[in-house]
Amino acid sequence: MKITSAVIAALLILLGLNSVFVVREGQNALLLQFGRIVRTDFQPGLHLKIPLIQQVMPFDNRILSLDAAPERYFTSEKKSVNVDFYVKWRIADNALYYRATGGDQLQAAQRLTPIIKDALRFEFNARTLQELISGGRKDITERVRVQTDAAARKNLGIAVVDVRIKRIDLPDEVSESVYKRMRAERLQLANELRYTGQESAEKIQADADRQGQVLRADADRDAATIRGDGDAQAAAIYAQSYGQDPEFFAFYRSMAAYKKSFEDGKGVLVLKPDSEFLRYFSDPMPATATKR
């Protein structure tokens, strides 16, 4: 009797425990009865169910990540690119999600991946490689998110929160051709700039040479004019001096000739003592003064 009572008490305790379940924060749950969905709107907290007959299927209500392997796509000009992307998603409809995936997160990711890849393939096929390189990622990811969100909600009960492209790589053969084209374009641009610079330098040099010739010609003309005026003034002064005192003028010119002849200290002159050139060495007095 005691054993029977203990067994009954244990069964009642187990049934009581089995009739209570907890939905944790960040989760929601489905209530199933013989595989049929009975209720889908359980919020976090303590809830009751019929023991042994009803089962609880909890789901993660947080945003989940799908990090797929890089995929190769072709651009509109049939050039291939390797695209590395990830997706943020969450469960939007518990009942549809359970029917589509059995509540298995791995199966959900496997069914969501081809939807994302097909949308990306369509977007990449519609764009050139230059458009992708120049910054069309944001537009692509937003269009892919909108398209895949609608399809995933309808077929999987999943909401696509975000789609991000981590990296777009060119295959080795494509990278080499792109780099070669870029090098050729930069070389062409450098040659054009070099040619333009050389042409400008030649024009500037020719203009500078022309201006230099004009300036030199003007300077030579002005110098000749000034020199001519100076010579004329000097001749006038000489003439005036000669007219005033011819003997002093002759003496001055002889002194200048002496200075010019002996200014380096190495000059040697072989002359007769009574030479006219040495007249002021032997008789410094003017001839007129001697006669007086």
Cα–Cα distance measured from residue 230 to residue 224, given in angstroms and rounded to the nearest whole number:
10
Instruction: Using pLDDT thresholds of 50, 70 and 90, give the confidence band for residue 115.
Output: very high
216-259 per-position pLDDT tens digit = 888 988 898 998 888 888 777 777 766 676 777 777 777 777 67
Structure tokens at 199: 């042409």
Instruction: Using pLDDT thresholds of 50, 70 and 90, give the confidence band for residue 290.
Output: very low
Q: What does DSSP assign to residue 87?
A: E
Architecture of domain 64-170: 2-Layer Sandwich (3.30)
The mean-pLDDT minimum among 6-10, 180-184, 211-215 falls in: 6-10
Domain ranges for the chain, please list them: 2-60, 64-170, 186-244, 249-292
Q: Which of 70, 187, 82 is nearest to 132 (CA)?
A: 82
The whole-chain average pLDDT of the chain stands at 80
User: How far is CA 75 from each of CA 80, 82, 126, 170, rounded to the nearest angstrom?
Assistant: 6, 11, 7, 11
Structure tokens at 25: 């924060």
Of residues 254 and 290, more confidently modeled:
254
Cα–Cα distance measured from residue 114 to residue 95, given in angstroms and rounded to the nearest whole number:
22
Of residues 292 and 247, more confidently modeled:
247
Q: Which of 156, 27, 40, 23 is nearest to 87 (CA)?
A: 156
Number of Cβ within a 10 Å radius of residue 9: 10
